[in-house]
Amino acid sequence: MDITVLGRGNIGGGLADLWERSGHRVTRLGRDGGDVSGAEVVLLAVPGDAVEKALSSVAGLAGKTVVDATNLYGGARPADGFSSNAEYVKSVTGGPTAKAFNTNFATLFGQVAGARARPGNLWSGDDEAGDVVSRLSLDAGYEAVRLGNLGMAATQEGLAGVMFSIAQSGLGEFVYRMAPPGQL
Ligand SMILES: NC(=O)c1ccc[n+]([C@@H]2O[C@H](COP(=O)([O-])OP(=O)(O)OC[C@H]3O[C@@H](n4cnc5c(N)ncnc54)[C@H](OP(=O)(O)O)[C@@H]3O)[C@@H](O)[C@H]2O)c1
């Protein structure tokens, strides 16, 4: 796939490396923005309070499939009138939108391929984004696990705090897995 990552740091750059290794073509954009019209999917991986600024620095977003990996910390809030960054993204693009990769630690990207069992990657969002999220999760070493539709993105963004609390309560950075009976 032709992927553009908006944000090329720990998450954007880390996933770009993994996806390139899986054969995808990845364009990396930073705070200077750029043009995403050639992308089949855009990963949003900028600081959670920079989403409005970041999207306004990019041309060609209309109708694009966007995978939003952002989190909000320290009391930061989504744009006025929205309960999640992902829903704000959807209001800008009008295209299929998913919240994904925000509940995994970038520091572990290099170890996922060697995991005993494939770790999970929670996502919420539009049905139309499901195939892309499943594929990009697999190609990064994760199994996509759906949490709900885009209305659940706020809940998923809230899980980042849960992840950090678990990590800081003794476990350190970790992966997770969800499996139904028969796949335990
Ligand atoms: N690190 C993790 O393990 C992790 C896990 C899950 C979710 N997240 C979330 O993923 C997002 C990125 O985190 P990160 O750790 O990858 O951050 P990071 O390493 O600091 O990288 C941030 C990237 O965002 C770009 N950026 C900053 N301000 C921007 C703006 N106004 N417009 C456009 N781009 C801008 C930077 O551009 P330049 O390259 O030009 O400096 C940089 O490429 C955050 O929302 C974070 O909460 C992080």
User: Do the Cβ atoms of 10 and 107 come closer than 8 Å?
Assistant: yes
Q: How confident is the model at residue 163 (pLDDT cuts 50, 70, 90)?
A: very high
Please report the atom of ligand 1 found closest to the CA of residue 8: 43
**Closest C-alpha to ligand 1, atom 48:** 11
Stretch 80-94: mean pLDDT, rounded?
98
**Amino acid sitting at position 34:** G
How close is the Cα of 134 to the center of ligand 1, in Å?
22
Q: How far is Cα 114 from Cα 108, in angstroms, rounded to an integer?
A: 11
Report the distance separating Cα 121 and Cα 143, nearest Å.
6
Q: How far is ligand 1, taken at its centre, from the CA of residue 9, in Å? A: 5
CA distance 168 to 179: 25
- pLDDT band for position 14 (cuts 50, 70, 90): very high
What does the pLDDT read at residue 74?
Answer: 84
| Domain locations in the chain as residue ranges | 2-171
Residue 156 in this model has a pLDDT that exceeds 90? yes
CA 86/CA 113 separation, integer angstroms: 28
pTM listed for this prediction? 0.98
In this prediction, residue 75 carries a pLDDT of 85
- What's the chain's average pLDDT? 97
Please identify which residue in the block is written with the tokens 């939003």: 68
Cα gap 143→120, rounded to integer Å:
5
Q: What's the rounded mean pLDDT across residues 39-43?
A: 98
Best of 4, 6, 8, 10 for a ligand 1 pocket test (most atoms within 8 Å of beta carbon): 10
pLDDT at 149 over 90: yes
The ligand 1 atom nearest the CA atom of 103: 6
* Residue 105 in contact with ligand 1 by CB distance below 6 A: yes
Rounded CA-CA distance 120/178 in Å is 6
What class is the 2-171 domain?
A: alpha beta
